[in-house]
Structure 1
Amino acid sequence: MTLPMTVPAPGLPARVRIHEVGPRDGLQNEKGTVPTEVKAEFVRRLADAGLTTIEATSFVHPKWVPQLADAEELFPLVGDLPVALPVLVPNERGLDRALALGARRVAVFASATESFAKANLNRTVDEALAMFEPVVARAKASGVHVRGYLSMCFGDPWEGAVPVPQVVKVCKALLDMGCDELSLGDTIGVATPGHVRALLTELTEQGTPVAALGVHFHDTYGQALANTYAALEHGVTTVDASAGGLGGCPYAKSATGNLATEDLVWMLRGLGIDTGVDLDRLVATSAWMAEQLGRPSPSRTVRALSHKEQ
């Protein structure tokens, strides 16, 4: 395999933890249903490639995300893996389902904007936060790690640009209710590096530790890696990505694929930043998954390296 020349840049983290979202965020937007056995194999191959945090599934009602209706069947098939397997829970019922299967990491998903809160959760921002409070409290009481996803941190398809103070306010609410970690989502991919720096600066100036922050960029306008680099410069060490660049958002039609994990690993390797990921195995995994889905991988790195091997 061709690998990038390693040329470290000053001021960047020595290691980045990749929060792999392919099995959940990547597959939830598929038109067809992926067989449970294929999903389980996908998770296992990702773990074998060295990813240590793999978001396995979602305990949302099947009516809303039918592609992940098999959460109860899937989780036991991968629960023995020696990796963190966070799952999405929308409410207390979802938490009950996850805890019953032994999940030790859960995530709730809020919105920085009223329009998306209505589209995604059929609630106002405040109503959604009120719904999550008992979920977070019960999860913490059970010794479970809680991640808070925040969508539309940079732009909203209905409201346009989202003011930084508006995002910071919802971030603070999620942290105050007990979330261990926040994932700042650029759901429709409109962020640029200056905007990323502005939000991270405001959050840290308001007292949010950078260690509690992760970033989740979509590559709609080709800015995901540039935005990730800006976050690294600010000290962020948790980056969400999706193997093969799979995914989007079923409630925001302008949202295209997530940042591809392979593209992220290629950049980080070139910068001398450790991820623990075997790029060969990861590319092979995404190429295999693309075959299961019946279409080429959107990841530029997967396409480039797969072509070289032919």
Structure 2
Amino acid sequence: MQSISYKDSGVDIDEGNAFVEGIKPYVKATFDKNVIGGIGSFAGAYELPGGFKEPVILAATDGVGTKLRLAIDSDRLEGVGIDLVAMCVNDLICNFATPMFFLDYYASAKLDKYRAIRVVQGIAKGCEIAQCSLIGGETAEMPGMYQHKDFDLAGFAVGIAEKSDLQRQSNIKQGDVLIALQSSGIHSNGYSLVRKLLFEELKMKFEDQICGKTLIETLLTPTRIYVDDYKKIKNHINALAHITGGGIVENLPRVLPKDLRAQIDTKLIKTLPIFDILKLNLDEDEVYRVFNMGVGMIIVAPRTNLDYILKNTDGYEIGEIITAPCGVDLI
């Protein structure tokens, strides 16, 4: 029997080693003073920040979903790394956790170090925006699981919070104001529906123009990272809701007490042109249940703090809290 190698089966160890060397400068650029050691150990090490009375560690994990399909098909790979970080750290801050570090998982049929480096560059950029360190990751070649240029991503973010802050939403009261923080676009949810509607039903093309940008540029706009906004206002808010899959109607109730309800005036929501296209072709209840509709985060805060929040973010008022069973009224 002729001798065969791991490379013959579709896995190239040398390409993997070259990839690790290629990403080192981007990863190191995310390190802060709490990172212990360098790249290449069996686990990443991070010293816990001081200043907490009762520190609690929180973790979040997520992916990018079928937005990856568009990134792969258009060969626009840099932005999905930012998406990956955003989807994790934006969840952490909703529990009043400051992101500390991030890990990623990249799986493909066959590792192409140049394409993979472009993805990790985006992950590193996302970590810099989120002010957290990229301290580890895993790259897997699985020719029996993936085909051609397909790959998948998963991300893992760890943050730290004061234990008392985990109960902050119990401070929510009738009359609290609801403030929207704008999204950068569709973010990273609902792309199966987007692809079916725009490309299968409406027969649109990547190069079609929407307000001076191509459709593919619009669809691949990276998810906005809200960590800096959160740090500016965290002591002036009662709750923060990340508007992802399920839209406003399913995500906002996750931070509300059972006897309080959100009342939102949809006429106040600042949408983007891509959402106008979706609204024209889909049922209104469906678009508000699937997409963020221009609202990436919703802040719940005492009305006395409204001016401070508006001065320190791009937020704007969209509604208030009323006494009624937990839920959302879109009026």
TM norm. shorter chain > 0.5: no
Work out which of the two has the higher radius of gyration on C-alpha atoms and give 1 or 2.
2
Name whichever structure is richer in helix by fraction. Answer: 1
> What's the TM-score, normalizing by structure 2?
0.22
> What's the TM-score, normalizing by structure 1?
0.23
